[in-house]
Each structure stands twice: as C-alpha cells, then as structure tokens.
Amino acid sequence: AQSVSQHNHHVILSEAASLELGCNYSYGGTVNLFWYVQYPGQHLQLLLKYFSGDPLVKGIKGFEAEFIKSKFSFNLRKPSVQWSDTAEYFCAVFRGSNYQLIWGAGTKLIIKP
C-alpha cells in the first residue's frame, strides 16, 4: 500500500544531542515533501518543505532535511537539540494524482534537560 512511514514513534534525547528522524514514502513519480511540528498545546506548523532543486533543505529553528530520491526518504536532522524541541513531528507527502497530503504516523520527541 502507498504510505508514509516514520520509523520511530518515540525518541528520547538529551540536550545537545544530534537528531535524525526518518521518513520514507512509497510513491513513485513527483512528490512534494513536508515536515510539520506540533509543540505541546500548540498548532501544527511547517518546519520545512521540499518541492524541487537542492535536495538539502533548511527550515526554521535550525532544522534541515535531505531528500534522497533513490531511497524514497526525507529525513529530518538537527545537529544539537534543545529542550524546547520537545514536540510531535510529522512527515507528509503531497501527491498530485490524488490531491492529498498523506501523513506519517508522527514521532514524539522528548528532550531531557
């Protein structure tokens, strides 16, 4: 089945640790890729997006993601996390064929101070 997979449902890190959250999708063809974040008690907001061009995209708050077409992946990274990065992170893929944003299950990130 066509899907978006986020491999880790829960990640716990200490402050200053490096972060990588995995996202894989199973669609062929052209896709647009997104990472959204939902901080506790706050609304979903866009971290970064990839439509075309440089496969390494930079987003807000020091996050970046790399699109690897051959691996159908769009992993999110941050070199040094902060306690304030504690949140739920969602990867999403837009396919033009069904005009829908398909969401991964989310990764709950907890940063220990």
Partner 1 sequence: DTEVTQTPKHLVMGMTNKKSLKCEQHMGHRAMYWYKQKAKKPPELMFVYSYEKLSINESVPSRFSPECPNSSLLNLHLHALQPEDSALYLCASSQDFPGGGNEQFFGPGTRLTVL
* Amino acid identity at 47: L
Q: Would you say 72 or 94 has its CB closer to partner 1?
A: 94
Q: Would you say 72 or 103 has its CB closer to partner 1?
A: 103
Size, binding site for partner 1 by CB under 8 A: 23
The binder of partner 1 chosen from 19, 21, 24, 34 (CB under 8 A): 34
Contact residues toward partner 1 (CB under 8 A) are: 32, 34, 36, 42-46, 49, 51, 88, 90, 92, 94, 96, 99-101, 103-106, 108
